[in-house]
Amino acid sequence: MYAPSSMIIKREVSVTSTPHPIHFSPKCPQHPKIPSLSSPSSSSSPSSSPSPSHGRKTLRRRIPTSLYDGSPSSSGHSPGTSPMGTKPSPSTPISPSPSMAPGGAPPSSGSRESAAYDVSKLTISVASDNETLQLGVDESYALYVGGGASLSIVGGATIEANTVYGAIRGLETFSQLCIFNYDTKNVEVYNAPWYIQDEPRFAFRGLLLDTSRHFLPVNVIKQVIDSMSYAKLNVLHWHIIDEQSFPLEVPSYPELWKGSYTKWERYTIEDAYEVVDFAKKRGINIMAEIDIPGHAESWGSGYPDLWPSPNCTEPLDVTKNFTFEVISGILSDMRKIFPFGLFHLGGDEVNTECWNSTAHVKQWLQERNMTTKDAYQYFVLRAQGLAIQLNWIPVNWEETFNTFSANLNPLTVVHNWLGPGVCPKAVARVLDVL
């Protein structure tokens, strides 16, 4: 016995996504992954007229609210119209059924009535076949879960999106509407019908993973990425190299990963490609980081000339062109692996005392009438220039802004981590902030 607003998801549910069919196993919360799409959808919507290019109407208006908690949309459009610009049909209400129990819980089994609606099909309609993943990609979607009169059978659920990544977010929301009933062993959706129009409030929704200080195998990184997809996060900040270890293979300078903890705690370039590809299929970008010049002691295990001296192992040697040749080689090799438009260059916690106590560095500074603070700025700006030449937008920790904000490259993204205060200052200088 089920409440009128309850739905049963059949054990074998066919999911169609024009032009490729896929199948949905309704064991929530995990959602199916969208297949590669080679052409726009050709299915038609009962609530909108077909367009010349595809049957499903493209989402034309963006909604200014984010509904990542799975709640139905009740705002973002004019009265009497849907967010797609068409009048909603009487069978597609905006709000859920009033039979929802207090707190959003499904109705108790004792109050269930003899009405159930089978979801026999989930239709996914994607307007564009462009699978490029970058910051700001359209992740909006509309999710419809039908309902009807008592004992009626409805056609199913529909997800409409402009891009495959919007469809992935819609699938995640759909999976979060599913509840497993341990009494009947059915997967159910309560309080149907549902209509959800959703888009992210923030273009960058990130999680930092530090595998230099604590090595993590590739399969564990994949588990983290899967978890991110459930929360609709879209950027993995991979802090892959630091003073403790250098685990990444760099073909241009193959001795660098001698700085890894052991031979078994390393990432080959194939591993890195695998992580990037795995993340892309879940709509997640990878922003890699090398933290220079102050967190780079591990670099000297393979190339000791990068150290100012055996007693001064960080910051890296600012006086040598070889230092910047190595940085350029690392960035060039990593650019082939990481297509994301942002690259993190670190720049935090730079203790320059040993530059002053190293004879050749001290002489270099004196010849140029530079202080160690000036040398720190010189190093960061030169590294930024190398990244920009590779069409990357440089990201730096906020110490760079706090120390020489007026001279930072205008493309710089300032990464706040020390507390409040820096964000309004950086925005006032027309810089982006994380």
- For 134-198, list the strands marked E by DSSP: 141-145, 157-161, 178-181, 186-189, 194-198
Contact 345, 292 (CB under 8 A): yes
Residue among 45, 54, 17 nearest 33 (CA): 17
Rounded Cα–Cα distance for residues 167 and 432 (Å)? 28
- Choosing from 349, 367, 398, 399, the catalytic residue is 349
Interior angle at CA 324, CA 303 and CA 306, nearest 5 = 25
**Matching residue, tokens 């102050």:** 294
Q: Which two tokens stand for residue 248?
A: 């990444």
Q: Return d(Cα 183, Cα 180) in angstroms, integer.
A: 9
Is 349 assigned a catalytic role?
A: yes
**Using H for helix, E for strand and C for coil, what is the string for 38-105?**
CCCCCCCCCCCCCCCCCCCCCCCCCCCCCCCCCCCCCCCCCCCCCCCCCCCCCCCCCCCCCCCCHHHC
How far apart CA 332 and CA 128 sit, in angstroms, is 31
What are the residue numbers of the active site?
A: 349
